[in-house]
C-alpha cells in the first residue's frame, strides 16, 4: 500500500514539474526580446552573479531535452541570448541608460505616483524607444541600399546603351534585307510612320506565379509599392508578388472579398479590409498580426505610414463611419473621426493627414492635431457619389489629386496666417477640369497625370446582355485606356489596354 501511494506521489510530482516547465517556456516566449531582464526574470538592479544564477536555474527548467513543449528550443535560445546580452557590461549599461531615459520621460507625467505600475510603464516606454532606434537603423540601411542600387542601375544603363545601339543597327540591317511581312512579336504595335516618337509607356503582362494564382480566384484590389505588388482577391486572400509576377508571400486574411489593401512607408506591414467586416494587419517579415472585427463590410483601409512605431489604421465601409484604430502600450481602441450619410469607399493616408471620400465630398483630417481640416465638395453636375469610386492620390503632404467620375481636381493645402482663426491648414483647388471619360485611377508620371479611363459615365449601363457564363457583359464596352495628361490639361498620349474579359467589367472594377 505504501509503495502504491509513493508511486502516485512521484507521478503527481513529475506532472507538476512538467507543467511548471511548460509554463516557464510560455513565460519566456511571452517576453519582448528588447527586455532581457524580463526574459531572465531578474530586476534591473541585479548583479552579474544574479544573472548567472537565474540563467542556470531557468535553463535547466526549459532545456529542450527535459520538456516536451513544441517551442522549448526557441525559449532556450531566447534565454541564452538574454544572458549573453546582460553579461556584456557595455550592453547592460546601455540598456540601463535607456531605461533611465524612459524613466525621466515618464517622471513628469506620473508626478508622485510611483510603484509597480510605474515601473511597468518605464519598461514599455523603453521598448518604444528601442523600436524607434531600430526603425531609424533600418531607414538608414534602406537609404544606403537605395543609393547603391541607383549607382548600379546607372552603370548597367550606361553599359546597356552600347548594346542597344548595336541591336538597333542589326535590326535596321535585317529589315533592309527583306523582312517585311514577318509577324510582329506579341505585345508590339505596328507603326507605319518611321518618324513616330517612341511611345511614352511600355507594357507587359505579368508572368511568374500569376497564371497559377488566378487560375480559379480573381483579383479584387491592388496596391503597387516600389519593390512588390499587393493584391486582394474575391476569395479573401492577400497575395504579395514581385514586379515580375513571382510569389513572395500569401495568406488567407478574410472569408469574403478583399476590398482594400494598404502598405506602410517601410513596406513591412500590409493592412487589408474585407466584406467579412474585418481589418487584418499582417507583418511581411515577422509573425505580427492584428485582427479587428467591425461586424459590417469594410470597404477601405489606410495604414499609418509609420505603423511599426504607431500601431494605427483608419478604415470605413457601409456603416458610414470613419474609424481610427490605435493600439498603445497601455490600451487599444477605436475613435470615430467622421460619420457620413453614405458608405466610405476610399481612404488615403500621407504623413499626418488622412483623406477619405463620402457622399458629402472629400474630407481631410489632421491626425496629429486630432481635427478635421477641410471638406472638398463634389463638383457641381457630377453623378451620384456611390456610382463611381472616388480615386484619391497624395502627390505629397500638401497636394491631393482627386478623380471622381468624369472630374479631376488638384487640391493644395496651405497654411493660414498666424493670427487667423480655424485650422492651421486650408484647402485651395488649384486645378479642376471635366473629361469625356470616367476616371478609374490616378497616378503621377514625371510631372504629368497618368489616368486610367473607361468610356464615359453615360454608357456604363447601356447595352448590357447576358453572357454564356451568366455574367452580364456590355455590348458597347471598350477596353480601358491609359492616358498621359499634361499640367496644361493636354492629352499627351493614350493607349488602349487589351484586357481579357473587359466587357464584363465596370469602372469600379479597375484600379491603377
List pLDDT tens digits, range 96-126: 877 777 777 777 666 555 667 777 777 777 7
Mean pLDDT value of segment 275-304: 90
pLDDT the model gives residue 259: 92
pLDDT the model gives residue 314: 92
- 8 Å CB contact between 124 and 105: no
Q: Which helix (H) or strand (E) holds 106?
A: helix 89-110
pLDDT the model gives residue 475: 55
Q: How confident is the model at residue 185 (pLDDT cuts 50, 70, 90)?
A: very low
Task: Compute how many other C-beta atoms are within 10 angstroms of the C-beta atom of residue 89.
Answer: 9
Instruction: Burial-class residue 347 by CB neighbours within 10 Å (0-12, 13-18, 19+).
Output: buried
The residue with cell 531609424 is: 136
Q: 326-330, 369-373, 403-407: which range is least confident on average?
A: 326-330
Distance separating alpha carbons of residues 6 and 228, to the nearest angstrom: 64
pLDDT of 167 above 50 = no
Q: How confident is the model at residue 195 (pLDDT cuts 50, 70, 90)?
A: very low
Instruction: Burial-class residue 59 by CB neighbours within 10 Å (0-12, 13-18, 19+).
Output: middle
First to last CA, the chain: 80
Whole-model pTM: value is 0.60
- 92 φ, ψ (degrees, to nearest 5): -65, -40
**Edge-first strand listing for the sheet containing 481-485:** 438-445, 448-454, 481-485, 491-496
pLDDT the model gives residue 135: 64
pLDDT the model gives residue 41: 85
pLDDT of 271 above 60 = yes
pLDDT the model gives residue 278: 92
pLDDT of 91 above 70 = yes
Task: Look at 347 and 420; give whichever has higher pLDDT.
Answer: 347
Pairing of strands 278-283, 269-274: antiparallel
What's the mean per-residue pLDDT of the chain?
77
Among 80, 68, 82, 103, residue whose Cα is nearest residue 32: 82
Q: 13-27, 64-78, 108-122, 389-403: which range is least confident on average?
A: 108-122
Q: 2-11, 76-85, 162-171, 216-225: which range is least confident on average?
A: 162-171
Amino acid at each position: 500500500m505504501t509503495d502504491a501511494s509513493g508511486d502516485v506521489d512521484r507521478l503527481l510530482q513529475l506532472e507538476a514539474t512538467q507543467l511548471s516547465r511548460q509554463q516557464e517556456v510560455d513565460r519566456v516566449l511571452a517576453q519582448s526580446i528588447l527586455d532581457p531582464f524580463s526574459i531572465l526574470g531578474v530586476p534591473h538592479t541585479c548583479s552579474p552573479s544574479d544573472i548567472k544564477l537565474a540563467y542556470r536555474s531557468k535553463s535547466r527548467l526549459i532545456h529542450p531535452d527535459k520538456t516536451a513543449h513544441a517551442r522549448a528550443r526557441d525559449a532556450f535560445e531566447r534565454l541564452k541570448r538574454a544572458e549573453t546580452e546582460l553579461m556584456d557590461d557595455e550592453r547592460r549599461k546601455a540598456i540601463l541608460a535607456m531605461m533611465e531615459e524612459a524613466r525621466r520621460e515618464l517622471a513628469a507625467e506620473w508626478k508622485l505616483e510611483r510603484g509597480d505600475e510605474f515601473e511597468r510603464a518605464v519598461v514599455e516606454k523603453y521598448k518604444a524607444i528601442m523600436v524607434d532606434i531600430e526603425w531609424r537603423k533600418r531607414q538608414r540601411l534602406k537609404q544606403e541600399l537605395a543609393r547603391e542600387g541607383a549607382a548600379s542601375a546607372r552603370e548597367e544603363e550606361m553599359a546597356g546603351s552600347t548594346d542597344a545601339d548595336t541591336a538597333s543597327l542589326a535590326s535596321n540591317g535585317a529589315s533592309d534585307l527583306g523582312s517585311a511581312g514577318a509577324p510582329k512579336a506579341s505585345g508590339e504595335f505596328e507603326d507605319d510612320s518611321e518618324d513616330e516618337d517612341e511611345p511614352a509607356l511600355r507594357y507587359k503582362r505579368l508572368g511568374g506565379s500569376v497564371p497559377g494564382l488566378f487560375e480559379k480566384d480573381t483579383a479584387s484590389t491592388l496596391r503597387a509599392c516600389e519593390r512588390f505588388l499587393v493584391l486582394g482577391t474575391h476569395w479573401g486572400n492577400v497575395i504579395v508578388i514581385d514586379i515580375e509576377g513571382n510569389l513572395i508571400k500569401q495568406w488567407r486574411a478574410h472569408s469574403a472579398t478583399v476590398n482594400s489593401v494598404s502598405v506602410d512607408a517601410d513596406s513591412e506591414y500590409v493592412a487589408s479590409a474585407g466584406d467579412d467586416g474585418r481589418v487584418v494587419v499582417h507583418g511581411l517579415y515577422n509573425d505580427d498580426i492584428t485582427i479587428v472585427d467591425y461586424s459590417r463590410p469594410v470597404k477601405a483601409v489606410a495604414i499609418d505610414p509609420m505603423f511599426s512605431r504607431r500601431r494605427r489604421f483608419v478604415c470605413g465601409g457601409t456603416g458610414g463611419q470613419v474609424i481610427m484604430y490605435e493600439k498603445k502600450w497601455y490600451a487599444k481602441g477605436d475613435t470615430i473621426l467622421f460619420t457620413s450619410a453614405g458608405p466610405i469607399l476610399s481612404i488615403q493616408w500621407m504623413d499626418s493627414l488622412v483623406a477619405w471620400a463620402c457622399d458629402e465630398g472629400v474630407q481631410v483630417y489632421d491626425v496629429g492635431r486630432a481635427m478635421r481640416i477641410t471638406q472638398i465638395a463634389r463638383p457641381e453636375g457630377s453623378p451620384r457619389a456611390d456610382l463611381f469610386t472616388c480615386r484619391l492620390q497624395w502627390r505629397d503632404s500638401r497636394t491631393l489629386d482627386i478623380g471622381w467620375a468624369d472630374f479631376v481636381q488638384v487640391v493644395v493645402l496651405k497654411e493660414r496666417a498666424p493670427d487667423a482663426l480655424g485650422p492651421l491648414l486650408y484647402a485651395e483647388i488649384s486645378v479642376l477640369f471635366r473629361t469625356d471619360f470616367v476616371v478609374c485611377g490616378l497616378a503621377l508620371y514625371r510631372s504629368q497625370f497618368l489616368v486610367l479611363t473607361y468610356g464615359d459615365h453615360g454608357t456604363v449601363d447601356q447595352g448590357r446582355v447576358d453572357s454564356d457564363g451568366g455574367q452580364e457583359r456590355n455590348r458597347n464596352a471598350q477596353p480601358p485606356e491609359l492616358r498621359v495628361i499634361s499640367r496644361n490639361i493636354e492629352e499627351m498620349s493614350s493607349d488602349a489596354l487589351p484586357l481579357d474579359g473587359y466587357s464584363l467589367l465596370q469602372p469600379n472594377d479597375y484600379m491603377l
